[in-house]
Every structure is written in structure tokens, then in C-alpha cells.
Amino acid sequence: MTQTALEPLPPDLFPADCPVESVPVLGGRKWAWKIMRCLESGPRRFSELRVPLVGITPKVLAESLRAMEQDGAVVRTEFDENPPRVEYALTPLGRTLLGPMDAMCAWSREHLGSLLAAREEYERAH
């Protein structure tokens, strides 16, 4: 069997205008997509977010929201009330990620069974 030589990978494979490591949904932020789904229908308080996010600690939720705010995907609004009230909402930039999230969910619904079967087969073989 002859092997065809592939072209070498170019040094500019990941150009500066597509910094994959800094994309919030790919940057290792485990809870980002779930938080975004919670905020999809409108602003939510911290305590409201904790209800569906089973397993997240308050510290991790706060860190995740802060990181998403830093990325411009979430906005934090403080209300001058007694007791104080804070709400989190998706920004217009954050909302642009909902379409790609929907596409990934559709892909997952269609292919997750095959992916899990492939993992299981790999584990049996190795």
C-alpha cells in the first residue's frame, strides 16, 4: 500500500483573526453553554440560575458569570434597592452564540449514539 504524502501544515493554520483558544464556548468554561441557555429567555438572578445548574457551586457560578461578562457575552446589572438585586443577561454578542449552540445540539441529537458507540469500541480494543 502506498502512502500519499500530505502537504505540511502551514504555520498560519490558526490565523490571528480566528483565535480558537479565546472563544468562550471552547475555552474550557464547562458551564458557559448551560448558563447561556438559562439566560436565553431573559435576565435572571444568581439564585435563579442555581436551580437548573445542578452541581455548580456558588463560587464556580460567580467565576463563570464573571468570565462571560469579561468576554462580553453576559451583562451584570445592579439595582439600587433594599435588599440589593443583581441580574445577569445575555448581551447581543452572547445571543449570537445561540445559533451555533442550536446547531451543536442538533448534531448531538443525531450523532451522539454513534460517538458513544465509537468510544466504547475504542475502549474494548485498547
> For the chain, which domains are there?
20-125 (1.10.10.10)
Q: What is the dihedral of CA 104, 106, 110, 116, to 10 degrees?
A: 40
* pLDDT tens track for 95-111: 999 998 888 888 888 99
* pLDDT tens track for 38-80: 999 999 999 999 999 888 999 999 999 999 999 899 999 999 9
- Which residues is 88 bridged to in the sheet? 44, 76
Q: How far apart are CA 50 and CA 35, in angstroms?
A: 9
Q: Global pTM?
A: 0.76
